[in-house]
Amino acid sequence: MITSSVLDSIHDGVIIVAMDSTILYANPAYTRSFGVQVSKVLGRKVSEIEPNSHILDVLRTGKPVVDDHTHIVSVGNDIVANIAPIYEQGEMTGAVAVFRDATEVMALKDLVTRYHSELLELRTRLLDVDNVVWDSPAMRRISELAQRVALVDSTVLISGESGTGKEVVAKLIHRVSQRHEGPMVAINCGAIPENLLESELFGYEKGSFTGAGREGKVGLLEVADKGTILLDEIGDLPLSLQVKLLRVLQEQCFMRIGGVKQVKVDVRFVVATNRDLKAMVKQGTFREDLFYRLNVVPIHIPPLRERKRDIAGLVRVFFQKYNDKYHIEKRILPEVIRYFETSYDWPGNVRELENVVERLVVSSRSNVIKLGDEVLSDYFDLRGDQESRVIVSGLMDIKKARELLELELIQRAAQVYSSTRSSAEALGMDHSTVARKAKKFGIKFRSN
């Protein structure tokens, strides 16, 4: 028998009622939830406290109520209630109700969801896949989707501009999958001449064509058996090979060039493209049946300009990579990363960012990379002598025009530089002048 002292210590609200709905017991947590005192609850009818309570339904029907959401008008709380009938010697004698603040329940659910997401992220980080960085919400969603998809063998179609990291996501899928102990084979369909691509994929028997090796050759599909094959730039696959690939996807078998028997393989397909396959289907340059076979689970990777929160993390990864590779110890100032995030669209995406970082590591004279660095200025044309023009669309007071121009320039400097001192140097102004005008215009700098 549970004593009242035990119930008094429970965090959830608890009441026990008789068959006529008289409240026989209420613990302190219940009175806090409903905004009433214990002395004013005991002996009263439930309907006097909460007219629409489902406790009355339980007393009438004898059926329990689970996870009932109720809004308590008197205190403005949302409550989750679990109500069960009480039986003694087979006869129903009343009911017991347990109440919990719905905001606490939702907070716990949110906490579980966050912990689950963080565990997935941590698991992926421990996989040590190169350049996997997802500080942006978009890449976090892609990471979680990739890990879920990895647990099954569905074909995945990864799309996105060149340099966004399609191969990195494909490697992530392989590393998380049940096939992670098998091979991961990647082939770029656009980098191999059409007359060689078929033999690279399917292999050939000895003597099957002029120039064929004496012993024949195993194709990459066989090499990838029990593992994953990435067909990159799948949009460049010739129509003649699209038919053969479709059969492999459907039947997991094929014939080598010059062969007479079927070769069975157990391969998981991941394909990638920077082209619009739907448009190619309409144009007749990509088979519709193959497209739908490939587009089972689509994953689109947005360009870097749409997920600039990833830039800082990527820069740190790349700097560490090339410092280690070239045995150099260089670092980059936050103002440069801020410039990367706000003032450039990265048409080459992550690949371009990595190339820029490598160039800075090996070419900069200083061990500390800042916006004034010559290599950086040359790449981004920070001097901007040819492009820096003031557009005049009408006449206005010259003093007012000068003030507006100063405001615009100082605002832009504040987006790129972390302090008034570095901004003043870039603008060719005295530090005190920039500080005074920034205060006047209400422009905030991250540090000084």
pLDDT digits (tens, 9 = 90+) for 32-67: 767 677 777 888 888 887 777 788 889 989 999 887
Picking from 119-133, 168-182, 214-228, 307-321, which range would have the lowest pLDDT averaged per residue? 119-133
Summary mean pLDDT of the chain = 83
CATH of domain 127-302: 3.40.50.300
Region 364-376: mean pLDDT is 87
pLDDT at 415: 66
pLDDT at res. 128: 47
Instruction: Look at 140-149, 208-217, 328-337, 415-424 and tell me which has the smallest mean pLDDT.
Output: 208-217
Q: What is the pLDDT of residues 395-447, one digit of tens each?
A: 778 888 888 888 878 887 776 666 787 788 778 888 888 888 888 888 877 65
Q: What is the pLDDT of residue 123?
A: 53
Confidence band of 293 (pLDDT split at 50, 70, 90): very high
The three-state (H, E, C) secondary structure of the chain, written as one string? CCCHHHHHCCCCEEEEEECCCEEEEECHHHHHHHCCCHHHCCCCEHHHHCCCCCHHHHHHHCCCEEEEEEEECCCCEEEEEEEEEEEECCEEEEEEEEEEEHHHHHHHHHHHHHHHHHHHHHHHHHCCCCCCCCCCHHHHHHHHHHHHHHCCCCCEEEECCCCCCHHHHHHHHHHHCCCCCCCEEEEECCCCCHHHHHHHHHEECCCCCCCCCCCCEECHHHHCCCCEEEEECHHHCCHHHHHHHHHHHHHCEECCECCCCCEECCCEEEEEECCCHHHHHHHCCCCHHHHHHHCCEEEECCCHHHCHHHHHHHHHHHHHHHHHHHCCCCEECHHHHHHHHHCCCCCCHHHHHHHHHHHHHHHCCCCEECCCCHHHHHHHCCCCCCCCCCCCCCCCCHHHHHHHHHHHHHHHHHHHCCCHHHHHHHHCCCHHHHHHHHHHHCCCCCCC
- Report the DSSP pairing between strands 228-232 and 65-72: unpaired
**Residue 350 pLDDT:** 93
What is the identity of the amino acid at 59? L
Distance CA 89, CA 73 (A): 37
Of the ranges 78-87, 100-109, 242-251, which is most confident? 242-251
Q: Report the 10 Å Cβ neighbour count for 17.
A: 24
CATH class of this structure's domain 305-380: mainly alpha
Residue 252 has pLDDT above 80, yes or no: yes
pLDDT of residue 44: 87
Q: How far is CA 125 from CA 128, 142, 220, 324, in A?
A: 6, 14, 29, 19
Other CB atoms within 10 A of residue 52 CB? 10
Q: Is the pLDDT of residue 188 over 50?
A: yes
Give the tokens for residue 92: 């129903």
| Fold held by 4-103 | Beta-Lactamase (3.30.450)
Quote the CA–CA distance of 431 and 148 in Å, as a whole number: 53
pLDDT at residue 302 in the model:
95
Residue 315: partners with Cβ closer than 8 Å, 6 or more residues away: 332, 337, 340, 353, 357
Tokens linked to 176: 């998380």
Q: What is the pLDDT of residue 120?
A: 54
- The whole-angstrom separation of Cα 199 and Cα 213 is 11
Per-residue model confidence (pLDDT) at position 392: 59
Query: What is the distance between the alpha carbons of residues 237 and 231, in angstroms, rounded to a whole number?
Result: 9
Q: What is the pLDDT of residues 103-122, one digit of tens each?
A: 666 666 666 666 655 555 55
Q: What is the pTM of this model?
A: 0.59
Please tell me the predicted confidence (pLDDT) of residue 322.
Answer: 94
CA dihedral 352, 354, 355, 357 (to 10 degrees): 120
Q: 121-173: per-residue pLDDT in tens? A: 555 544 545 456 778 889 989 988 998 899 899 999 999 999 999 999 999 99
- Residue 1: pLDDT band with limits 50, 70, 90: very low
